[in-house]
Chains A and B, each alone.
Chain A
Amino acid sequence: MKVLVAIKRVIDPYVKVRVKSDGSGVETNNVKMTMNPFCEIAVEEAVRLKEAGVAEEVLVVSIGDTSCQEQLRSALALGADRAIHIDVEQSPEPLAVAKLLKVVMEQEQAQLVLLGKQSIDTDNNQVAQMLAALSNRPQGTFASEVKVEGETVLVTREIDGGLETLKLDLPALISTDLRLNEPRYASLPNIMKAKKKPLSVMTPDFFGVSVERSQQVLEVMTPPARKAGQMVGSVSELVDKLKNEAKVI
């Protein structure tokens, strides 16, 4: 079985995001970038499936400018076998990403596609579901457990208030949630080995997919800042403030 994982390069979650003063976006110059944490979980799950003998090959794809090859190399160092970089100047909208991945999924005949449930930059949470719709395949979103059983996969999903388990026929799409696994760190020998693993570069034209945008970001704003609060001197004072001033208890 071939597993396809798509990953995104994003601002590191521990970096404080700053909105540009002209409102055109957020500052990305000289900011630490990393693999989207949910994508990292997807890579880890794919590699574990390979280690368990369930998957034969793990193919990793990223869509972005040349710099995302850095994250593809990270994924290769974590255990992916092969990488495809789809070269675009600007990150396409989720629907276009899904259309590109659909072509890759078909060409590669991937049986399982693992994606992070959302990227922590645009926070859309859309690609896996859209790809499932376009390829007319079943989806297991927000997965906290994945068990491949023959031609099917059992996916336990994190839903509001609990868990839900679905049985999906392969090929299937899975989006990963936090509890699915804890990603490993790449070892130095694996980082060295990753440099020699195959990485091919393609363009959206090759796939016949338009990356034209249907949504325009008119302005990016800093959310209203919280006013500095007050320090209280004792538990009694705190309880009094919560009861009589804030009226929340």
Chain B
Amino acid sequence: MENKPSATLVVVEHDNQSLSVDTLRALSAASQVQQDGASLPVTALLVGHQCSLVLDELKCVQGISQIVVIDAAEYQHALAENQSTLIAEVGRDYSHILAPASTFGKNLMPRVAALLDVGQLSDVIAIESLDTVVRPIYAGNALARVRSDDATKVMTIRSSAFDTIDLSDSPVVENVVTLETVINAEHSEFVSQQKAESERPELPAANVVVSGGRGLGSKENFALVEQLADKLGGAIGASRAAVDAGFVSNDLQVGQTGKIVAPQLYIAVGISGAIQHLAGMKDSKVIVAINSDPEAPIFQVADYGLVGDLFEIMPELLEKV
């Protein structure tokens, strides 16, 4: 039925200097798009400006058969308006188009799908066959096995579900194609970007997350959470209750309506464990709960639970880790 070749296109996320880790994970997902036990050929699509360092990195990725590069000033800021048109144009020749489910991919890919008049499979956590994937719904409280009957499968890949792909020490990809297609982002203009100045890692990418809840009692006491996060090189998070109480700003909220995280270690301090919150962190590898209430629901999902007074436990923990 389909007359296009079976091949996978991976849209590369980068900052014109280096590849994002999420891209390495999306590339590993691409290797799982398989027919008769063999991966479909993978093309990496690099769109940017003065991004030769990224190209050098890409050439060292194992399992890529081709790299397509488009380098123009118009593509410096990864605007969705022109990049989606470009990706849809290149993507017409592919059966699968993948990108990381980061804010980059989430912003861009539905636009690509709509231009191709197909649906999108968002936040894919497993690729079962050429047309069937598994993705979380209801903030991960349920999983859906979904089959796409579209001619092109457009999907974003949830990073925490895939390992990074292997890199070689020296370049292994020889087939590099350069295109000159320049499309202007009409009606949209980049103004500025503020990257968070914090030394702490970003919540979705952190290996360790220390979150605080209402049990901390005040904005001042939230410093205990920050100190522990800093000691462990982790990010800080918060429950909705802590945000509503004004302890921290909304962008730190972990939960169904906030950020969804899956770090190696999640430490919940003074968080009771409302469903809303659990939905945002229950896929963490190891969960530690510290709470004064032994009946708190958070203990039902915790690998290690410690009941007691936070203001005695936290200083001691800070000293001992």
Q: Which A residues have a C-beta under 8 Å from some C-beta of B? A: 11, 13-17, 19, 26, 37-38, 93-95, 98, 120-134, 137-139, 141-142, 144, 154, 157-169, 172, 178-179, 214-223, 226, 228-232, 234-236, 238-239, 241-242, 246, 248-249
Contact A126 B120 (CB under 8 A): yes
Given contacts A242-B304, A249-B265, contact A160 B193 (CB under 8 A): no
What is the predominant secondary structure among interface residues of chain A facing chain B? mixed
Which of these, A122, A124, A162, A236, contacts B194 with CB under 8 Å?
A: A162
Q: Which of chain B's residues has its CB closest to A237's CB?
A: B306
Q: Mark B248-260, 1 if CB is under 8 A from A, else 0.
A: 0111010011100
Contact B110 A178 (CB under 8 A): no
Contact A130 B187 (CB under 8 A): no
Q: Which of chain A's residues has its CB closest to B151's CB?
A: A214
Q: CB of B41 within 8 A of chain A?
A: no
A144 → chain B closest CB, angstroms: 8
Could you list 24 examples of A-B contacts with CB < 8 Å? Answer: A11-B138, A14-B275, A16-B141, A16-B275, A95-B118, A123-B137, A127-B110, A129-B109, A129-B111, A133-B112, A133-B114, A134-B114, A139-B111, A141-B107, A157-B103, A157-B107, A168-B187, A214-B148, A217-B144, A220-B145, A221-B142, A221-B143, A229-B299, A249-B321
Closest 5 CB pairs of A and B: A129-B110, A130-B114, A126-B110, A133-B114, A138-B188
Given contacts A14-B274, A142-B103, 10 further A-B pairs with CB under 8 A are A17-B138, A26-B138, A130-B113, A166-B189, A167-B189, A178-B257, A217-B144, A231-B306, A235-B317, A242-B286
Which of these, A162, A218, A226, contacts B146 with CB under 8 Å?
A: A218
Identify the interface centre among B114, B150, B275, B276: most chain A CB within 10 Å of its CB: B114
- Which residues of A are found within 8 Å of B132, using beta-carbon distances? 218
Which of these, A38, A94, A133, A164, contacts B192 with CB under 8 Å?
A: A164
Given contacts A166-B190, A218-B146, contact A139 B81 (CB under 8 A): yes
Q: Mark B94-121, 1 if CB is under 8 A from A, else 0.
A: 0000000011101111111111011111
Which of these, A167, A215, A238, contacts B147 with CB under 8 Å?
A: A215
Contact B187 A95 (CB under 8 A): no
Q: Give Cα A226 to B111, complex, Å.
A: 36
- Which residues of A are found within 8 Å of B103, using beta-carbon distances? 141-142, 157-160
Q: Which of chain A's residues has its CB closest to B312's CB?
A: A235
Given contacts A218-B147, A231-B299, contact A94 B137 (CB under 8 A): no
- Which residues of B are found within 8 Å of A98, using beta-carbon distances? 114
Which of these, B121, B191, B208, B301, contacts A215 with CB under 8 Å?
A: B121
Q: Give Cα A66 to B168, complex, Å.
A: 57
Q: Give Cα A17 to B147, complex, Å.
A: 23
Contact A179 B285 (CB under 8 A): no
- Which residues of A are found within 8 Å of B282, using beta-carbon distances? 226
- Which residues of B are found within 8 Å of A166, using beta-carbon distances? 79, 188-191
Q: CB of B224 within 8 A of chain A?
A: no
Q: Mark B282-321, 1 if CB is under 8 A from A, else 0.
A: 1001111000000000011111111100000100110011
Q: CB of B28 within 8 A of chain A?
A: no
Which of these, B136, B141, B274, B287, contacts A226 with CB under 8 Å?
A: B287
Contact A216 B136 (CB under 8 A): no
Which of these, B113, B137, B300, contacts A95 with CB under 8 Å?
A: B113
Q: Give Cα A27 to B147, complex, Å.
A: 21
Identify the interface centre among A26, A144, A226, A241: most chain B CB within 10 Å of its CB: A226
A12 → chain B closest CB, angstroms: 10
Q: CB of B264 within 8 A of chain A?
A: yes
Contact B146 A248 (CB under 8 A): no
Contact B303 A246 (CB under 8 A): yes
Q: Which B residues have a C-beta under 8 Å from some C-beta of A? A: 79-81, 84, 102-104, 106-115, 117-123, 132, 136-150, 185-196, 202, 204-205, 208, 232, 249-251, 253, 256-258, 264-265, 274-276, 282, 285-288, 299-307, 313, 316-317, 320-321
Q: Give Cα A93 to B106, complex, Å.
A: 17
Contact B142 A223 (CB under 8 A): yes
- Which residues of B are found within 8 Å of A121, using beta-carbon distances? 137-138
B146 → chain A closest CB, angstroms: 5
Given contacts A215-B119, A229-B303, contact A239 B137 (CB under 8 A): no
Q: Give Cα A234 to B136, complex, Å.
A: 36
A13 → chain B closest CB, angstroms: 5
Q: Give Cα A35 to B282, complex, Å.
A: 25
B11 → chain A closest CB, angstroms: 14
Q: Give Cα A30 to B151, complex, Å.
A: 38
Contact B317 A26 (CB under 8 A): no
Contact A160 B288 (CB under 8 A): no
Q: Give Cα A108 to B64, complex, Å.
A: 47
Q: Give Cα A221 to B151, complex, Å.
A: 26
Which of these, A120, A139, A216, contacts B138 with CB under 8 Å?
A: A120
Contact B257 A126 (CB under 8 A): no
Contact A124 B120 (CB under 8 A): yes
Contact B142 A19 (CB under 8 A): yes
Identify the interface centre among A93, A127, A162, A234: most chain B CB within 10 Å of its CB: A162
Contact B287 A229 (CB under 8 A): yes
- Which residues of B are found within 8 Å of A246, using beta-carbon distances? 265, 286, 303-304
